[in-house]
A and B are shown apart, each in its own frame.
Chain A
Amino acid sequence: MISFALLDWVWLISFTLLMVIFGMYFYRLGKRSESDFFLAGRGLPWWLPASSVYATHTATDTPIWIAGVVYKYGFAGLWYAFFSAWCAVSAFVSTKIFRRSLAYSQAEWQSLRFSGLGSEMLRGWVAGWQVFMNMFILGWVGIAMGKLCGLLFGWDLWLGLVLFTSIGAIYVLMSGYWGVVMADFQQGVIAFFIIVIVSIWGVVAAGGPDGIISKLKTYNSTCEWKVPAEIADQSRASIRIVDPETCKIYAQSPAPFVIQQHRDEEFFKWTEDRTLKLVTDVIPQRSQNVEILFPGVGDTLLAGYGYNVIWTAGKTGKRVNIDFSLDEGQTWANIDVNHFDGQSWRINPFSFSGFSKGRFPVAWFVTMMIIALIGGFGMGTSFDWYTEAQRIQSAKTVRDASYSIWAGTALVLIRNSIWAAAILGFFVIYPHLGRGTDYEMGWYIVGFKYLPIGMVGFLFAGILAIHLSTVSTQLNLGAMYATRDFYHHYVNPQASEKKLIRVGRISTFIILIGSFIFGTIIGEEITQWLIFALWIMAAGVWLPNILQVIWWRFNSWGFLSAWIANLGLSWLVVWILPRFGIIPELPDYIQFWILMVLNALIYLPVTFLTKPGNMDHLVKYYVMSRPIGFWGPVRKEAIKRGLLNPIE
């Protein structure tokens, strides 16, 4: 556990009070109207929603995730977080279209874009999905804070979850979105400074930029290996390193090592500490002969634990196959495709494991770039769209909305690069960690280990700023869908502004309580299931999310059928068919393309077999939003009705 000095408490309490009181200060503006409580009256200059985009997308679990991918893949791991680049295109396309529509939420936009029963069904579905997802995300980030407090202070999980999310709820309940966006600005500034400071300390601790680069050049090669949990007790295993093209064996274990079944944290830690020296030991005269340093003769590995296979760096920059055998070399199973020549590949952002092989192939990178950049033409192609949509509508003009989305995302990408520098420093200090749960805490460890007294309290205040900015947004966003799209639209369309704000506050409170329940029951299985749910949303509905923006003929039934078909097809492609051996377990980027094509085979016929949307409704939407793409017949009709100037 971490012990706080008096100075640490002074900074923590000062920053916390500043953030909460500032959020509460806007109480009088927040209670004026529904538009104020959820969109700050649509009057914000671009830099306020921009700082909110950046602050919201910096949560307590974000440095854990970035540390995980950068520790594993070096600077190339930053591409995992590059999906936010969709905003670079969206800022000039879907952001403008959405802002012009004046919809409060994405659910409301569905009913402006589509017409009839299908549009109402879509609005209800999107709103319900969003209320649920905001509750889930709150539980998720809340329990991450609970775990962090458990590690730092030895608290029970629920205490960190309930205490710090409730602090955020105080100003959200009072001031609504006004409090959220103003506190986000302040929290964004505090968080940005602490991220820069911890990263500087991390780089200095590792020997500075030159020190990091020179150490990476001398370190031996490593390859993460999670020993399969089902391997029988006392199995004798060997490792080999092979050229995948020529099948030339570069190195092989001189004698088998042992794999044991029982759990023994102490023993695991002892083995892991021993491997640090094997990674960092400089081998004075490197020869063509590569030697496996770990696991070696006399080593015992525990099944289900993560280790690093270590070998002396080869001279060529090839990728090699790392294989293991349990039957004295008669059959081999692949562990990974990995870099052969030490660790210097980690500073190359394009160090892929091959075109389609390994854990980091070019094909994955190309798919991700397409998803991100083309996705900017649509609405909802990334899950972040829903928070961004609220910020877009709160900007005072269409131009402000564009600037805010572009600048907020630029800040997110800059932040990731700063984090990556600290994590590379962390790798240089601890290059032997094989368990994700260990190295994912890298950024926090750098901060709590190396910052001077007083700065530790400031670091925790920064972590609290990160946490509050995320939970405040999700609380207000979830409440907006519940109030605007359920209560105001279906239950009481004539409700007064006062009543709507009261319902907004009640919804905020219900979502808060729901998140506590979610946070305490959330387990690995639920998380995996929901990540899968988010992924299938990206895979099968990605193209329909673009089509609804750029193609007039795409109707609500086509969009609804895409959602429904996607639910079934994704289960088939991801779980059921591989389980029965009908298709192999495919990498996620291949699943994406398969689901996209299969889904299109359903929603395109449904679209053409059902009537186009009502022309009056489409003309109204077109004149208001001015979408780009294939809108010829609607545009012609709008000109015919004198609603649009032909030269515009």
Chain B
Amino acid sequence: MFSIALTATRIGSPILGVIIPVIILGLSIVLTLMLIRHFIKR
């Protein structure tokens, strides 16, 4: 069944493969730093 997945039919510009992960990685890092700061203050 995974042969279906092997014949990839990519949708969307390849630039999305950079932009979207960068935004989410950035958001994750910001949230991480905020969380660390929250508990250091306590």
Contact = CB atoms under 8 A, between A and B. Distances in A.
Contacts of A455: 16-17, 20-21
B1 A186 contact: no
Contact of B24 (A29, A190, A453): A190
Contacts, number: 94
Nearest to B42: A43
A452 B13 contact: yes
A7 B18 contact: yes
Interface residues of B, number: 29
Contact of A151 (B2, B20, B31): B2
Nearest to A205: B11
A201 interface: yes
A444 B29 contact: no
A224 to B, nearest CB: 15
Contacts of A2: 5-6
Nearest to A201: B11
A180 to B, nearest CB: 14
Contacts of A185: 31, 35
Contacts of B1: 433, 435, 437-438, 441, 445
Interface string A100-123: 000000000000000000000000
A148 B9 CA distance: 20
A25 B10 CA distance: 38
B24 A458 contact: yes
A182 B28 contact: no
Contacts of B36: 25
Interface in B8-41: 8-14, 16-18, 20-21, 24-25, 27-29, 31-32, 35-36, 39
Contacts of B2: 151-152, 441, 445, 448
Given A441-B2, A448-B8, A449-B4, A190 B28 contact: yes
B40 to A, nearest CB: 10
Contacts of B24: 189-190, 193, 458
A211 interface: no
Contact of A197 (B4, B20, B28): B20
Given A182-B35, A441-B1, A445-B1, A189 B28 contact: yes
A334 interface: no
A390 B9 CA distance: 44
Contacts of B16: 452, 454-455
Interface string A289-308: 00000000000000000000
Contact of A189 (B4, B10, B31): B31
15 contacts: A2-B5, A2-B6, A18-B28, A151-B2, A152-B2, A189-B24, A205-B11, A448-B2, A449-B9, A450-B8, A453-B14, A454-B16, A455-B16, A455-B17, A458-B17
